Amino acid sequence: MTVRRFHAEIGTAIGTGAIGAAAVIGATELGYGWEESGPQSGYFPFYVGLILIAASLWNLVAAFVKHRRPALDDAGIEAPFLDGERLARLGGFLAAMLAFVVATLTLGIYVGATGYIAWNTWRKGGYRVPVALAIGLGFAAALYIIFEVIFLMPLPKGPIEPLLGIY
């Protein structure tokens, strides 16, 4: 499976256009007129939103035009944006990151970070499991000491820390 630059351009243009549309909708709830004392609170978001929609449309059309006439294409619109191998690498990395975020939110950052780092050093780095676990635990301990002990900044914790007497 290959993602072409054309697909990425279109996806991004739709995304930025959606942000613009959301802003315009949010701004109409607030009022976007110009009162005697200057702009209403929705004035800037409304017009900036419109500009964003227009610019996104332009990018969308430009991508289609280049797609239809690839001969004139100088930006390589048909060039692969992500080939299969890279897509897999990127997908794997993102999935691990997503798992890390979910683990942090449910089990706390120390468990999440230990697991995430240990898994990566084991699978991607080729270290043995005990070594990988040690690196992960060491990192979590360093986080705890720097943030919670030295700088008194509480980090998100899950159900396991209280069992160890850490709140």
Partner 1 sequence: MGNFDLLMHGFGVAITPMHLLLMVVGVLLGLVVGVLPGLGAPNGVSLLIPLTFTLDPTSAIILLSSMYWGALFGGSTTSILFNIPGEPSSVATTFDGYPMARSGQSTRALTLAFMSAGIGALLGVIVITLLAGWASNFALRFGAPEYFAVYFLAFAAFIGMGSASPVKTVVALATGLLLASVGMDNVTGEVRLTFGFSDLLGGISFLVVVIGLFGIGELLATVQEGLSFRGVSSRIDLRDVLRTIAELPRYWATSVRSGLVGIWMGITPGGPTAASFMSYGIARQASRKGQAFGTGRPEGIIAPETADHSAGTCAMLPMLALGVPSSATAAVMMGGLMIWGLTPGPMLFATKPDFVWGLIASMYVSNVIGVILVLLTVPMFAALLRIPFSIIGPMIVAICFVGGYTVSNASFDLWLVLLFGVVGYLFTRLDYPLAPLVLAMVLGHKAENAFHQSMILSDGSLSVFFSNTLVSSIMALGLALLILPKLLHLGGRLRRRQPVE
Partner 2 sequence: MNHLKTGAIAALALAAALPASAEWAPERPQEFVVASGAGGGTDNFARTIQAILTRDKLVDAPIVVLNKGAGSGAEAFLYAKQNAADPNKVIFGTNNVYLLPHIAKLAYKAEDLQPVAALAVDEFVVWVKADAPYQTVLDLVEAAKAEPGKIPFGGSQSKDTDETLVALIEQTTGADFKYVPFNGGGEVGVQLAGGHVAANVNNPNENLGQWQAGAVRPLCVFSPTRMAESAPIHDGKGWQDIPTCKEQGLAIDSYQMPRTVWLPAGVPEEAVAFYRDALKKVAESQDWKDYLAKTSQTGAYLTGEELSKFIADSETRTVEVFKAEGWSKE
**What residues make contact with partner 2 under the rule CB under 8 A?**
37, 152-154, 159, 162-163, 167
Reference 76, options 68, 66, 84; nearest CA is 66
| Separation between Cα atoms, residue 143 and residue 113, nearest integer Å | 9
Binding segment for partner 1 (CB under 8 A), chosen from 43-51, 64-72, 158-166, is 43-51
Six token digits for residue 7 = 């697909």
Distance, first Cα to last Cα, the chain? 47
Beta-bridge mates of residue 108? 157
Query: Which position among 153, 163, 165, 167 is part of the footprint of partner 1 (CB under 8 A)?
Result: 153
- Cβ 127 to partner 2, closest distance in Å? 31
Residue 33: which of partner 2, partner 1, none does it interact with, CB under 5 to 8 A by kind?
Answer: none
Token pair 């230990």 is found at: 114
User: By rule CB under 8 A, what string of x and - marks binding of each residue 106-125 to partner 1?
Assistant: ---x---x--xx--xx--xx
Q: Does 33 bind partner 1 (CB under 8 A)?
A: no
Contact 77, 59 (CB under 8 A): no
SS3 at position 82: strand
* Distance set, CA 152 to CA 50, 108, 113, 142 (Å): 45, 17, 19, 14
Residues within the interface to partner 1 (CB under 8 A): 5, 8-9, 11-12, 16, 19-20, 22-23, 26-27, 30, 34-42, 44-45, 48-49, 51-52, 55-56, 58-59, 62, 75, 81-82, 86, 89-90, 93-94, 96-98, 100-101, 104-105, 109, 113, 116-117, 120-121, 124-126, 135, 139, 143, 146-147, 150-156
